[in-house]
Amino acid sequence: MLTKHSARTVRRPCKYCGSTALYWAKDSETGRFVLISAGLVTRQIPVGGYVDGLYRHNCRNIEDGEDLAVEASEVDSPVIEDAPKPEPTVKAAEGNGDVQGALQTILDAVNRPAIDENKVRDIVNAVLSETDRPTRTVVIKDAETVEVDGLTHTVLADVVESVQDGPVLMVGPAGTGKSTIARQVSQALGLSHERFFALPLSPTMTTSQLFGYMDGHGNYVRTVFRQWFEHGGLFHFDEFDNSNASIITSLNEALAMRAGDTLAFPDGMIAKAEGCFAIASGNTYGTGPDRIYVGRQQLDAATLDRFYVIDVDYDEALELNACVATGCDAGKRQEILSTVRALRRKANANKLPLIFGQRSSIMACKLAARGVSAEACMARAIRRGTSDVNWDRLGAPVLAF
């Protein structure tokens, strides 16, 4: 019978085939140690046979009659992994306490096989290829380099590239970071904070909120849109598909104009400045309400025709980073992320009018970091009033921490 003695693989590979996925096991009949290829600590197996995946290492590269069994003195470490290990000691060389001799003793004690740098790099790259890694964005233009502050969404570079040729419409679910992308585009273009303008649109918005108006004393009341048009910068039309078509249509001419062209404002004709960039964002493509965003408006096709359209989905690397920043325990964090992402996929697959965005993950992690129970995290941050019918269709998940 063979008894596996170590929870660790052998330190040196098999000299015949090079395999390192091996363990030492003691043959109770001969007292010698043989190599086995898998298994659990202290499991008994028949010599030459196998039990639950345990089997003696049958190296195909040895000649007939040779045996891989060795004496105990030749075994790397035929002991249980948890056994205490003596600390290495350093003793000065005989004579006058030779320092070089002591250093050599240390080197001999810690000597290890040389590390293959290329193999290490391949291993690291293989691991990272399966890991969520948030990105940073650097823009190089006219020999100047601008590094965007913080982590960036994977589509940021596409938006920066397109907005320099014309207006961009970003379309994606709630909580994908569209507003953050707009601000980072402004920085990537080298614009100051004062030259970034944002305005959430709504069905009740009037033209005066965009173009300004003359007050009772005959003074012109300026708006952020006028500031952008006259002095340049980047304008973010937030909730673009939540505005009525007539207001958006009034923007058509302004968006199509080139620098120097003039547009009528309540106080006169104003020339458009150099460097007027425009970004709009919405949850739909402006074609009207859908099963989730039932309050969205249908926009004029002539307006939509002026925009480059870029889809913005959840960036899971950014989602993970935001959850880590909450200070939530790693185990709880992973459970929350796995649950929310599974719900996200199921809701989309079943075309349910539900959103399980990264805000759900972040909110749940914040609660968990404060010691809130798993049940409360689920109810307050993830389920949030979802009906029993829809919850059952999603598999009625629960958090396990």
What are 91-110's pLDDT values in tens digits? 444 444 455 666 666 666 66
For residues 260 and 304, membership in a common domain is answered with yes
Cα distances from 380 to residues 30, 366, 374, 385, 400, in angstroms, run 65, 11, 10, 8, 16
Computed over every residue of the chain, the mean pLDDT equals: 81
Q: Give me the pLDDT at residue 86, please.
A: 43
For residues 220 and 278, membership in a common domain is answered with yes
For residues 1 and 93, membership in a common domain is answered with no
For residues 296 and 330, membership in a common domain is answered with no
pLDDT at 231 over 60: yes
For residues 108 and 201, membership in a common domain is answered with no
Average the pLDDT over 55-77 and give the result.
52
Which range of residues forms the domain containing residue 48? 1-82
The dihedral sign for the CA sequence 359, 364, 367, 368: negative
Do the strands 268-271 and 262-265 form a parallel or antiparallel pair, or are they unpaired? antiparallel
Cα–Cα nearest to 172, from 184, 183, 182 = 182
Confidence bin at 18 (pLDDT 50/70/90): low
Q: 401 lies in a domain?
A: no
Confidence bin at 113 (pLDDT 50/70/90): low
Indicate the residue among 311, 343, 358 that finishes a domain: 311
Paired tokens of 166:
């014309």
pLDDT at 366 over 60: yes
Number of domains in the chain: 4
Number of Cβ within a 10 Å radius of residue 26: 19
pLDDT at 173 over 70: yes
For residues 228 and 264, membership in a common domain is answered with yes
For residues 333 and 297, membership in a common domain is answered with no
Average the pLDDT over 335-361 and give the result.
95
For residues 161 and 276, membership in a common domain is answered with yes
Q: Give me the pLDDT at residue 275, please.
A: 96
pTM of the prediction? Answer: 0.66
Confidence bin at 356 (pLDDT 50/70/90): very high
For residues 271 and 185, membership in a common domain is answered with yes
